[in-house]
Amino acid sequence: MQRLAFSAVVLALGTVVPAGAYAQAAPGRTYNTVIEKLARGEPVIGGTIDTPDPDTYCAVANAGFDFTWIEMQHSALTYSEVEDMIWACRGAPAIPFIRVPDATEGDIQKATDIGALGIIIPMVDDVQKIRNAVTFAHYPPLGKRSQGGGRYGALWGNDYRATANDNVMIVAMIESPAGVAIAREIANEPGVDAVFAASSDLSSFSARRQGDPEYEALVSVIKDETLAAGRVLGGPLAWLGSRPEDGYLFFQGPGAGALIRTGARATLEDSDPCRFLPPGTAPVPGEDPCEE
Amino acid sequence: MQRLAFSAVVLALGTVVPAGAYAQAAPGRTYNTVIEKLARGEPVIGGTIDTPDPDTYCAVANAGFDFTWIEMQHSALTYSEVEDMIWACRGAPAIPFIRVPDATEGDIQKATDIGALGIIIPMVDDVQKIRNAVTFAHYPPLGKRSQGGGRYGALWGNDYRATANDNVMIVAMIESPAGVAIAREIANEPGVDAVFAASSDLSSFSARRQGDPEYEALVSVIKDETLAAGRVLGGPLAWLGSRPEDGYLFFQGPGAGALIRTGARATLEDSDPCRFLPPGTAPVPGEDPCEE
Amino acid sequence: MQRLAFSAVVLALGTVVPAGAYAQAAPGRTYNTVIEKLARGEPVIGGTIDTPDPDTYCAVANAGFDFTWIEMQHSALTYSEVEDMIWACRGAPAIPFIRVPDATEGDIQKATDIGALGIIIPMVDDVQKIRNAVTFAHYPPLGKRSQGGGRYGALWGNDYRATANDNVMIVAMIESPAGVAIAREIANEPGVDAVFAASSDLSSFSARRQGDPEYEALVSVIKDETLAAGRVLGGPLAWLGSRPEDGYLFFQGPGAGALIRTGARATLEDSDPCRFLPPGTAPVPGEDPCEE
Amino acid sequence: MQRLAFSAVVLALGTVVPAGAYAQAAPGRTYNTVIEKLARGEPVIGGTIDTPDPDTYCAVANAGFDFTWIEMQHSALTYSEVEDMIWACRGAPAIPFIRVPDATEGDIQKATDIGALGIIIPMVDDVQKIRNAVTFAHYPPLGKRSQGGGRYGALWGNDYRATANDNVMIVAMIESPAGVAIAREIANEPGVDAVFAASSDLSSFSARRQGDPEYEALVSVIKDETLAAGRVLGGPLAWLGSRPEDGYLFFQGPGAGALIRTGARATLEDSDPCRFLPPGTAPVPGEDPCEE
Amino acid sequence: MQRLAFSAVVLALGTVVPAGAYAQAAPGRTYNTVIEKLARGEPVIGGTIDTPDPDTYCAVANAGFDFTWIEMQHSALTYSEVEDMIWACRGAPAIPFIRVPDATEGDIQKATDIGALGIIIPMVDDVQKIRNAVTFAHYPPLGKRSQGGGRYGALWGNDYRATANDNVMIVAMIESPAGVAIAREIANEPGVDAVFAASSDLSSFSARRQGDPEYEALVSVIKDETLAAGRVLGGPLAWLGSRPEDGYLFFQGPGAGALIRTGARATLEDSDPCRFLPPGTAPVPGEDPCEE
Amino acid sequence: MQRLAFSAVVLALGTVVPAGAYAQAAPGRTYNTVIEKLARGEPVIGGTIDTPDPDTYCAVANAGFDFTWIEMQHSALTYSEVEDMIWACRGAPAIPFIRVPDATEGDIQKATDIGALGIIIPMVDDVQKIRNAVTFAHYPPLGKRSQGGGRYGALWGNDYRATANDNVMIVAMIESPAGVAIAREIANEPGVDAVFAASSDLSSFSARRQGDPEYEALVSVIKDETLAAGRVLGGPLAWLGSRPEDGYLFFQGPGAGALIRTGARATLEDSDPCRFLPPGTAPVPGEDPCEE
């Protein structure tokens, strides 16, 4: 897999301009490094956070991911807990993105106030939903976001009011056939920066698994409409390796629990090569150092 | 490295009887699987916990470790937080061990009440300190542990009062030359099940690093006295591989943060082989797929 | 009062099929024991929870109730707190039901993700509200519930995705004359398993007390429409004894605070029979052992 | 600035009747002292709370403010946290007002259940939004507020159900040109007690600063329509001094952080007059006691 | 059982003077109602608290108990949690007593600072331990308690410094044969107000159950020495009924969990008389209304 | 009051060398700015923290104080809460100092691990107590502080192990006549950097108020011995102004609650000059603008 591949796709499609389809004349400072990487055609990967622990958050945010995918749809995290995590780990390289539970004014207000630079909207099957998200996530004149207290200034600088509209990304997730049916409208809605093809709910809704032609046809629509609209295409991390030519650039990676399991397995096998061997298996053919 | 090796060492030293040098005539049921593994001469490894998050705790406790090393000396964890973690993750294979901040009556009482089956005493440089730990951690007639409410019964069974003395392990850490000076008394103190040679503080106190003869001489005293007393010998996880013939069986492994870093690196490299390459480096000699 | 009575009523009305009016062809495993009891015509009683304490939750969930009525409309409980309580007390006989504050996508998503098997919708005076609840609480093809992380699998089994639609009950509360006016539509809405006649708000809205003919007429409409639709009828616990022939099967019982008061009174009177006597009252006529 | 001034304005406009434009025939007991003060034409000032600490809350609530402006739009405070603060500080002179994140049924229900006597609705640019707030904040027959458990009774008395409609104030904030455009409808909506001209968002939306004629024209519309409707007029605290003749009576004051800074400066300068002097400045002309 | 009985015993033993054996010349205001009741010879009963929930605390503190027995020896409660509970429920009739984990300066300081008016010292088997408790719990000149911030003033009045020594009770628990051996010294130590014969640990230490002559002999020593010293005698609540002539006045009652179970059983049986019947049992002989 | 005055006193007494009486040959980097200021003879003032709120902490730490006096003797703050506050506000100008509840190994370990650079020991009336504090607060060879995980490195730099002994200050508080009696030993104990004359407990213990000759004689002993030993002298903030010639340099300032009150008073008076006037009082003689 070559980085070139991504750029090639990107170039073929014209310029990828995240947060730009909606941007104002004189773009300001960019501190959302995810936007910069995507603009260069590089893939970005988010580590998933679904537990309210600042130390765990920081471990993920400093582990090599480009952003944190703070999961508030399928977790019970409160904004108060998420605020503490983002703040405790300010300065980490991963940019905070929040998958909000819904696109209400309250959700988007709080997510942006506490400093998220990415808002991921689940289950978009209605244009009004993503339009609301865009509206509440951007300051006037682009949207109707309210100004007021928050951590954003201490996190991102005193010019936040002037620069936020260029740094807050909107990611629309299409997770059902009803969403696929309006994929073109979603992808072309001003202010939508990326469209994410969600594999798991798409299976649940379509009752088809990955690889099934019916399932793949749904995914193709999302992919084609997104790229045709010049937006960033997102999907599960497995597709970074398995669909390298498809133009996916924005990926959701594993959560802290899965990372701990992977890390523990590596650590324990390294320390004690016999630890996880099933009985009767020799790590090196012909020898079995793990049996007495 | 062979499992045989451990057993051989153990057999050479006589029977390893954790929690038994102090045990009553008719030993009861054993639910501390660490004791069972040690009795079979198998190494045990603990995953370190220093953050108050039940989900993170559970991820570690289910990741393949034999026990959790709940760090209360060098963390600000409260017993209330630790109680919630152990309870939330009841049934996980890793047995909860707590490194207490001190060997006071209150510390040991709370650590055992919330269900720890291992008490790790740091900085033992005084026989009275470890004697207090043994006394407060065991019910009469062996010790002076008070009965009362707690989670232990729901965690370990209705026969807890009758079986706890056989299931609660005491680990004494020797971390300074003053402690080394009384290593023989510590190792032979009734009720001490294991002695741990702490590498980091021992360096700090001795101003010598691992490998330095003076440092190694201190470690040798701990090792020799512990094995001579028929107790379990403990140390940092790196020594499992590097000192395989020395008889170490009880190891402190990495914490959640380190496991996340290790797991993230493995995941990200697997997804994107070029992610961590320094500029100009090709993963396969002769090809550089990471450059456009 | 005889259990027979309930069954007689039930039989007279045809089969009570909770979670079934909406069910798929091949129903799966049932782990919501409330559904099983109701199917047998047995009354079910919920202990109310309105405080975020896992120990208190567990005490209620193990005290003999069939379900817990986790009160999120008239309390400030967060989903994070409720998740911890349900998880800390997994395995208790009472099944978790949540009265949600509203029927938004976010509310229903979180309530089901954290493992509630009953969703109680307050203040239904609009068919769309209960229809949303049904939609967001059921997986496709019945509804639009999103899949994703959550505690449900660890709580209810690996077949949760396949069985959840048969185990999640929807209870619609009619609490106002406006709701009574559409009681027939509510009771007949597919996916509604039970209809609850709420006594207190119905008084507040109608400005009539129980017993007043106008009030009773409202209750009768709810009762008649619910039973005619073959749905389970719910009401306050007092009606279990006072309206035994009316077909009520689903009851809200007291909260932890009231149970503590009742329990304390019983305990204290048992310990000291004179404790609560008003001055000058003798527990046995003619003697006053409580005065010196 | 004279208190007379306020009364004069008030008298000129006819009676200010907060919570009364919507009130029932026989008004009950008033315990919302903000309403009483406003009825007397006195200005009321709220201390802003945006951090979840009961001690800090109490310090503000006892510091001389008339009410607390509990900020839930631009903070991540949960209702659970706010409930604890109000309860911990019951009896303090400042009356709890909550700026809710949105005017949903759930928001208003929780805000009133935990004992707020003022509901401040941000970003009103749609009559339905303020109408919902009024409906959910008032008991029948005026509104559709649900009865049920809560702290309100312990805070405000056993007659709360009968008196709440006369004691819960509704404050509508107009923060955008779209809101200004419907200022007359907002001010005349039954149940709206006060209208607040929000300076900061109005600047953000209009891209004009205070003093700019365009900005001031917007403010004038709000002011004129509010006073014409006989409602209370609100604004930022700075306007108490700077616009004394304009009829503003309801003010948002600084938050705890700003008060701490002000208090620290006063304390430190009082203790050490040289503490904040820039180099070369003498507190008294001609002497420089701060240099050695 | 008659209240007279208690008084008779009390009178026979001379005056019970809790908090008085150590008191200053001019005793101040008494707000510890437990002291007043004991002085009148009335039994006092404490409801046990071992979970950090203010609502549950308040339910217990308002349920008819004379004091709350806040359990910090056999629970993981932090002083921060206990402070919140006492404060949230200020004004409740039950007086807060804390069983501290140990008699350290820190424990006693925090327990008294947060407003406890009773300090219960577990496991007294050493005179120095109870002497420390007395010293740290009383202001000079009686002890060495430090003054400083705390909730005590807001809870108990501005004269707290002058009156605390007369209102803070010290209860020494004798729970082992070693404690029994010094029962006389404990009971006669100045500043000890009550001595508690702990049944459960006494069994654990003596390996004898209640009723066993050896066990009863230990209890008799505690009882006799306590009464001979003119101190209040305490024990488990069951002894209020079962040992009415023995002079016990200070009792530990059940915890919130047990009260919930008792309350639920009463409530559920009252609502549905057949609920807890074993199969084949009729509540009234000859009829079985619980079978269909 | 002149800064010169302080320096003059300091010079007269010889060099003030905080953290230096015990320092190693080659002192490292100094990041404890309190030490630097004291070395220059400048007074340092701490803002008191007794509530577990990071935002409130940050407000105090950024308000102009030289250090934060984190109060853990007379509050129920846990180390977990304090850790979060220090971390959330890293980078603030005020250096974190903790008044520990006691000088146990656990207290000092946790206070230093979470990053405090000052340890304030209350109630020193025993040389062993302050000696323990010095021992546990310093790394070998000066003391016996254990190394291990903690926030200190992320807060103060990678050279923390090498530099901590030069940056952690020890402040001994003398609060009783017993402490005064050993003031010379305390002040001359190696590793003690400052001695604090505590006014409030000294009154409580001596039963004398400030100004009383007996009280002042006690204070003079502390002052004289401290200055004679070349240590920094500390006391309540009021003494900065009232005893300028006495050589006090280290002061405890007010807490957040008091600062809020002061700040609110200033703010409210500024906004509304009539707010706090007693009836009949005119702010300017001869006019009464506050009456209608």
Q: What is the pLDDT of residues C217-226, one digit of tens each?
A: 999 999 999 9
Q: What is the pLDDT of residues B87-96, one digit of tens each?
A: 999 999 999 9
Residue D7's pLDDT is: 36
Position C288 scores a pLDDT of 52
Enumerate chain D positions whose Cβ falls within 8 A of a Cβ in E. 54, 84, 87-88
Give the separation between CA A89 and CA F116, rounded to whole angstroms: 20
Residue E75 pLDDT exceeds 70 = yes
pLDDT average, residue stretch E164-168: 97
* Tens digits of residue pLDDT in B70-107: 999 999 999 999 999 999 999 999 999 999 999 999 99
- For residue A58 the two structure tokens come to 């920081």
Please report the pLDDT score of residue D43 as a whole number.
96
* Residues C109, A176: C-beta atoms closer than 8 Å: no
Give E1's pLDDT tier (boundaries 50, 70, 90).
Answer: very low
Residue D13: which residues within 8 A CB-CB, separation 6 or more? Answer: D227, D228, D230, D247
| Shortest Cα–Cα distance, E259 to chain C (Å) | 4
Contact C84 B88 (CB under 8 A): yes
- Tens-place pLDDT, residues C80-127: 999 999 999 999 999 999 999 999 999 999 999 999 999 999 999 999
Q: Find the mean pLDDT for residues B185-199.
A: 96
pLDDT at F221: 98
What is the mean pLDDT for each group of 10 consecutive residues in chain D (292 residues)? Answer: 33 41 59 97 97 96 97 96 96 97 94 97 96 97 90 94 96 97 98 93 92 95 98 96 93 96 94 70 54 48
Would you state the pLDDT for residue D3? 29
User: Which residue did the predictor score with more confidence, C8 or C51?
Assistant: C51
Please check the confidence at residue F234 and state whether its pLDDT lies above 60: yes
Question: Tens digits of per-residue pLDDT, E216-272?
Answer: 999 999 999 999 999 999 999 999 989 989 999 999 999 999 999 999 999 999 888
| Closest approach of C75 to chain D, Cα-based (Å) | 6
Structure tokens at A153: 């200034």
Chains touching chain B, criterion 3+ CB pairs below 8 Å:
A, C, E, F
- The pair of structure tokens assigned to F72 is 């853990």
Q: Do B87 and C88 touch (CB under 8 A)?
A: yes
In terms of CA atoms, which chain F residue is nearest residue B203?
A: F147
According to the model, what pLDDT value does residue E136 have?
97
Residues of C with CB under 8 A from a CB of D: 50, 52, 71, 73-78, 81, 101-102, 104, 107, 122-123, 125, 175-176, 200-201, 204-205, 207, 255
Per-residue pLDDT, C14: 41
Q: Which pLDDT score is estimated for F112?
A: 97
**Sign of the Cα pseudo-torsion (D149, D150, D153, D154, in order):** positive
Q: Which residues of E are marked as active site?
A: 74
Between F271 and C10, whose confidence is greater?
F271
Say what the pLDDT of residue B177 is.
96
Min Cα separation E262/chain C (Å): 5
B138 is catalytic: no
Question: Do D198 and D174 contact (CB within 8 A), yes or no?
Answer: yes
Q: Which chain D residues are Cβ-neighbours of A139 within 8 angstroms?
A: 204
pLDDT mean across residues, chain A: 88
Q: Has residue F12 got a pLDDT over 50?
A: no
Nearest Cα residue in chain E from F201: E147
Instruction: Judge: D53–F52 Cβ closer than 8 Å, yes or no.
Output: yes
Distance from C-alpha of E104 to C-alpha of E97, rounded to nearest angstrom: 17
pLDDT in tens, C248-289: 999 999 999 999 999 999 999 988 877 776 555 555 555 555
Residues in CB range of C71: below 8 A, 6 or more apart? C48, C49, C50, C77, C99, C255, D148, D149
Comparing alpha-carbon positions, the chain D residue that sits nearest to E83 is D88
Beta bridge partners of E170: E119
pLDDT the model gives residue C292: 45
State the DSSP string of B111-163. Answer: HHHTT-SEEEE----SHHHHHHHHHHHS-TTTS-PPP---SHHHHH-TTHHHH
Specify whether the backbone of B32 is left (phi greater than 0), alpha (psi in -120 to 50) or beta.
beta
Interface probe, candidates F44, F237, F250, F259, chain D, greatest D C-beta count within 10 A: F259
User: To the nearest whole angstrom, how far is the Cα of E172 from the nearest Cα of chain B?
Assistant: 15
Mean pLDDT within A249-262 = 97
Q: Give the per-residue pLDDT at B36.
A: 97
- Residue D111: closest CA among chain C residues belongs to which residue? C76
C-alpha B282/C-alpha B277 separation (Å) is: 8
Q: How much is the pLDDT for C30?
A: 95
- Predicted ipTM of the assembly: 0.88
Nearest-CA distance from C198 to chain B in Å?
A: 35
Residue D43 with chain F: CB contacts under 8 Å = 272
The residues that bridge with A197 in the sheet, in sequence order, are: A174
Contact E153/E203 with Cβ under 8 angstroms? no
Nearest CB to E149 within list F71, F123, F175 = F71
Rounded Cα distance, E169 and E192, in Å: 8
State pTM to two decimals.
Answer: 0.91
* Omega before residue A141 within 30° of 0, cis: yes
Instruction: Give kind and range of the element (H or E) at residue F112.
Output: helix F105-113
- How many residues does the structure list for chain F? 292
DSSP E74: S
- Check A140 against D207: CB less than 8 A apart: yes
Q: Nearest by CB to B76, which of F83, F105, F146?
A: F83
Interchain proximity A148–D107, CB inside 8 Å: no
* Portion of chain A with pLDDT greater than 70, in percent: 85
Model confidence over F140-175: pLDDT tens digits? 999 999 998 788 999 999 999 999 999 999 999 999
Phi, psi of C211 (to 5 degrees): 100, -35
B and C touching (3 or more beta-carbon pairs closer than 8 Å): yes
Nearest to C74 among D82, D105, D113 (CB): D113
Please list every residue in chain E whose beta carbon sits closer than 8 Å to the beta carbon of residue B139.
204
pLDDT score recorded for residue C4: 29
- Spell out which residues of chain E touch residue B103, defining contact as CB-CB under 8 Å: none
Contact A259, A68 (CB under 8 A): no
Q: Which of C83, C146, C161 sits opposite A73 (nearest CB)?
A: C146
For residue F292, the model assigns a pLDDT of 45
Chains F and D touch (3+ CB pairs under 8 A): yes
Hey, which bits of E59-188 come out as E strands?
Answer: 67-71, 95-99, 118-121, 169-174
Contact E192, E172 (CB under 8 A): yes
- Evaluate if residue B43 carries a pLDDT over 50: yes
As a whole number of angstroms, the distance between CA E280 and CA E275 comes to 13
Instruction: List chain A residues with CB under 8 Å of B47.
Output: 264
Q: C11: exposed, middle or buried (C-beta count within 10 Å: 0-12, 13-18, 19+)?
A: exposed
pLDDT, tens only, A85-118: 999 999 999 999 999 999 999 999 999 999 999 9
Q: What is the reported pLDDT for A64?
A: 96
Which is nearest to A171 in space by CA: A222, A228, A208, A214? A222
Helix (H, G, I), strand (E, B) or coil at E121: strand
F94 pLDDT above the threshold of 60: yes
User: Chain B contacts of F83, Cβ < 8 Å?
Assistant: 76
Where does the pLDDT of residue E274 fall: very low under 50, low under 70, confident under 90, or very high at 90 and above? confident
Tens digits of per-residue pLDDT, B235-291? 999 999 899 899 999 999 999 999 999 999 999 998 877 777 655 555 555 555 555
| The predicted structure's pLDDT at residue B287 | 53
- Cβ contact, residue pair F264, D265, below 8 Å: no
C87 to chain B, minimum CA–CA distance in Å? 7
Does the pLDDT at position F285 exceed 80? Answer: no
Q: Flag whether E touches A (3+ CB pairs, 8 A cutoff).
A: no
**pLDDT reading at B121 higher than 70:** yes
Considering only CB atoms, E205 lies closest to which of B82, B110, B140, namely B140
**Percentage helix, strand, coil, to 5, in chain C?**
45, 15, 40
Average pLDDT, chain C: 88
Q: Which chain C residues touch A200 with a CB distance below 8 Å?
A: 147-148
Average pLDDT over residues F193-198: 95
| Contact flag for A and D (3+ C-beta pairs < 8 Å) | yes
Residue A292 pLDDT greater than 80, yes or no: no
* Cβ separation C204–D140 shorter than 8 A: yes
Do A271 and B240 make contact, defined as CB atoms within 8 angstroms?
A: yes
Q: How far is E87 from chain D (nearest CA, A)?
A: 7
